[in-house]
A and B are shown apart, each in its own frame.
Chain A
Amino acid sequence: MQLLKEKHIAYVKSLDSHTDDYEYWLSEHLRLNGVYWGLTVLCILGSPETFDKDDVIAFVMSCWDDKYGGFAPFPRHDSHLLSTLSGLQILATLGGLDNVKKDQLKLSQCLKFISSNQLEDGSFQGDRFGEVDARFSYNALSCLSILGELTPEVVDPAVNFVLRCYNFDGGFGLSPGAESHASMAFTCLGALKITGKLHLLSPEQIDMIGWWLCERQLPEGGLNGRPSKLPDVCYSWWVLSSLAIIGKLEWIDYEKLTQFILSCQDEKRGGISDRPNNEADVFHTVFGVAGLSLLGYKDLVPVDPTYCMPYSITATFQKYGLY
């Protein structure tokens, strides 16, 4: 089976015209994330101009939270670290980052929003209501990296916390001691990579982490997120990107995983689902396509495993610790 590129482009394009769909409106709280996922699919498939650039940038800016700084997932919602990262990723991808970077008020509000959510132990809450999750550490560090504003005051305690999420089995959990989960391997390793701190893991730990990650591949080819769970296309990203970050991508059986991802395509309407014959969505579509890009699938734009954005964009980010 082949990657149905044109179908997937058409699928992502169609998402916007499905606004009469009830489900679509129930997902307001994820809208900015959804736009980022869709845009990234289009970029990897080599068709970024499918979205109207000015419209998308205007929509992102309409999600700005005037009161607390940062981006909400939708106008008038509260800002959150998750949606703030999506907003900055979209702006960076479309060359619109100056809307924040060159606007003194917005930039200082944004930096304040991010740093005000860092807690004493170095962890981050997603917003002022106190939910702590290693994902938010990644979000915060990635945001600051995109803005070129990482500082040791934020980075050092943040890295400390992330390292505490490493588990006895070689995986990473959402907080110290929480069960290892593939998505947390990505957020923790990504956070360490962004801050140039991967060397804080010993070679033995790296091997152990690589083992835990490749252990996620099931005999039929797909990857699961935790032991004894079903395979799911989104883990193609969480696991593969993690392995790529530590330079151990080859520990996965490429051929079998490629076949698994391709078998999850909706051949009629485009899009990729979590497992074969389920309903496609944009979340699984981006992580399926990005996974294929990491696997070197032909004619895809290379994706940066640390940021889940095209290399051509992330190459412009200032590297922390190297200047």
Chain B
Amino acid sequence: MTDCYDEFNLEDYADVEPLPIVTGLKDELCQIMYSEEYKQLMGLMRAFLSSNELTPRAMRLTARVIAVAPAFYTAWNYRFNIVVAIAKDRLDQEFQWLDEVTLNNPKNYQIWSYRQALVENLGQDLTLRGDLPIMDMMLDDDTKNYHVWSYRKWAVLHFKDFTHELSFVDKLIDRDVYNNSAWNHRMFYMKNVSPDDRTIDEEITYTKNKIELVPQNISSWNYLRGLYDHFKPETGHKGELLKFAGGFIDALDLNATADSAESLPEIESSYALEFLASEYATEGQLQRAKNAYQCLALKYDPIRGSFWNYKITTLEA
């Protein structure tokens, strides 16, 4: 008998009658004309799904079907059942096969839920280390791939291993300071490792440095505000931070009411201005908050004009 991981060979299936699609309909939704290979494969697949044969050749068939139609999740589910039945002591090889499929299908997400099912159900002896190479490789190639990040978060929690995350995220933020996925993962990390006050202060300094590098970056500003809200809720954003944000809008006089976009100077960061506006609003410096929102509506972020005007009405309420 041939092995689960051998090449797919049509001759192994000579005894199987491919099942046609039967919907009991004559309608156009089901009239088919597609490539011979695909037709043959899917016919076989339907036959196997119906007989539920859990054998090496069934496993080879799923590999072939997945290579042709990687998003066909029923084939993945079937393969999972086969692995559980006949190959659960060969996880190394399964992951090797899966890594290859992963590299060939970066946008597919069945891969990651399949990986999760393997790890969760069969991977008692595994560690995060086994997952790192493929995750790192995929995120190196597509640094904002949502499914890889989601899986990474799941895996880190599953293995309770946070030791690689901060240096990994550092590297990605160094490479692209606008990478919102990396900033989000950083917050996920911070919230899960219960950092002490000193670590949070260092983290605030780190974030400010990144903002100074690129002041017009919503991700780093959100992260900074998130740090304060989550770890220093009682301090608020006062004092030093107001000065920090003020540094990016030097040229703007918030004590004066703006009447036209033309009269307003260039500033380094509209997010700094947003931040200041909401701080002033909280502190009761309503005129300054209003002026700031007006400037956003007029010049620095006009596409959200109605939002900024709404913020002004909340001040007047």
Asked if A253 contacts B219 (CB within 8 A), the reply is: no
The 28 listed contacts between A and B (C-beta, < 8 Å) are A17-B28, A19-B30, A19-B31, A19-B33, A20-B34, A22-B35, A24-B34, A25-B42, A29-B74, A55-B29, A62-B24, A62-B25, A75-B21, A76-B21, A76-B50, A129-B80, A130-B121, A168-B230, A175-B153, A178-B150, A179-B180, A180-B184, A211-B307, A226-B180, A227-B180, A227-B218, A251-B304, A253-B303
Choice from A17, A126, A127, A251 contacting B306 with Cβ under 8 Å: A251
B-contacting 9-mer, from A98-106, A214-222, A273-281, A312-320: A214-222
Nearest residue (CB) in A for B185 is A179
CB-based closest 8 A-B pairs: A131-B113, A168-B226, A20-B33, A62-B23, A55-B27, A179-B184, A169-B222, A251-B307
What's the minimum C-beta distance from B73 to chain A, rounded to whole angstroms?
6
Nearest residue (CB) in A for B45 is A76
What's the minimum C-beta distance from A31 to chain B, rounded to whole angstroms?
8
What's the minimum C-beta distance from A60 to chain B, rounded to whole angstroms?
10
Nearest residue (CB) in B for A168 is B226
Asked if A168 contacts B28 (CB within 8 A), the reply is: no
Chain A residues contacting B23 (CB-CB under 8 Å) are: 58-59, 62, 75
Q: With an 8 A cutoff between CB atoms, is B1 at the interface?
A: no
Asked if B226 contacts A29 (CB within 8 A), the reply is: no
Q: With an 8 A cutoff between CB atoms, is B229 at the interface?
A: yes
> What CA separation (Å) do A178 and B154 show in the bound complex?
9
Asked if A130 contacts B72 (CB within 8 A), the reply is: no
Chain A residues contacting B153 (CB-CB under 8 Å) are: 175, 177-178
Nearest residue (CB) in A for B230 is A168
What's the minimum C-beta distance from B144 to chain A, rounded to whole angstroms?
7
Q: With an 8 A cutoff between CB atoms, is A256 at the interface?
A: yes
Q: How many residues belonging to A are interface residues under a CB distance threshold of 8 Å? A: 60
Q: Which of B93-121 contact A (CB under 8 A)?
A: 113-114, 116-117, 120-121
Q: Which of B63-93 contact A (CB under 8 A)?
A: 68-69, 71-74, 76-77, 80
Taking A55-B27, A226-B180 as known contacts, 15 extra A-B pairs with beta carbons closer than 8 A to each other, sorted by chain A number, are A16-B28, A25-B34, A28-B69, A58-B24, A62-B25, A130-B113, A174-B150, A177-B184, A211-B307, A214-B307, A215-B218, A221-B303, A226-B144, A228-B218, A253-B306
Q: DSSP class of A's interface residues: helix, strand, loop or mixed?
A: loop
Binding site for B on A (CB under 8 A): 16-17, 19-22, 24-31, 35, 52, 55-56, 58-59, 62, 72, 75-78, 80, 126-127, 129-131, 167-169, 173-175, 177-181, 207, 210-211, 214-215, 217-219, 221, 226-229, 250-251, 253, 256
Q: Which of B11-41 contact A (CB under 8 A)?
A: 19, 21-25, 27-35, 38
Asked if A80 contacts B49 (CB within 8 A), the reply is: no
Choice from A59, A78, A226 contacting B27 with Cβ under 8 Å: A59
Known: A22-B38, A25-B38, A168-B222. A210 touches B25 (CB 8 A): no
Asked if B29 contacts A59 (CB within 8 A), the reply is: yes
> What CA separation (Å) do A62 and B73 show in the bound complex?
18
> What CA separation (Å) do A204 and B116 show in the bound complex?
36
What's the minimum C-beta distance from B128 to chain A, rounded to whole angstroms?
17
Choice from B31, B120, B178 contacting A228 with Cβ under 8 Å: B178
What's the minimum C-beta distance from B181 to chain A, rounded to whole angstroms?
5
> What CA separation (Å) do A72 and B74 show in the bound complex?
9
Chain B residues contacting A174 (CB-CB under 8 Å) are: 146, 150
> What CA separation (Å) do A173 and B187 show in the bound complex?
13
Nearest residue (CB) in B for A72 is B74
What's the minimum C-beta distance from A194 to chain B, rounded to whole angstroms?
24
Q: With an 8 A cutoff between CB atoms, is B210 at the interface?
A: no
Known: A29-B72, A251-B304. A228 touches B46 (CB 8 A): no
What's the minimum C-beta distance from A46 to chain B, rounded to whole angstroms?
22
Chain A residues contacting B219 (CB-CB under 8 Å) are: 227-228
Residue interface mask B165-186, A partner, CB < 8 A = 1: 0000000000000111100110
Choice from A25, A56, A80 contacting B73 with Cβ under 8 Å: A80
Asked if A217 contacts B74 (CB within 8 A), the reply is: no
What's the minimum C-beta distance from A32 to chain B, rounded to whole angstroms?
10
Q: With an 8 A cutoff between CB atoms, is B188 at the interface?
A: yes
Chain A residues contacting B178 (CB-CB under 8 Å) are: 227-228
> What CA separation (Å) do A56 and B71 show in the bound complex?
24
What's the minimum C-beta distance from A1 to chain B, rounded to whole angstroms?
20
Q: With an 8 A cutoff between CB atoms, is B149 at the interface?
A: yes
Chain B residues contacting A55 (CB-CB under 8 Å) are: 25, 27-29
Q: With an 8 A cutoff between CB atoms, is B191 at the interface?
A: yes
Nearest residue (CB) in A for B191 is A177
Nearest residue (CB) in B for A180 is B184
> What CA separation (Å) do A27 and B307 show in the bound complex?
40
Asked if A19 contacts B304 (CB within 8 A), the reply is: no
Choice from B46, B121, B154, B225 contacting A76 with Cβ under 8 Å: B46
Q: With an 8 A cutoff between CB atoms, is B206 at the interface?
A: no
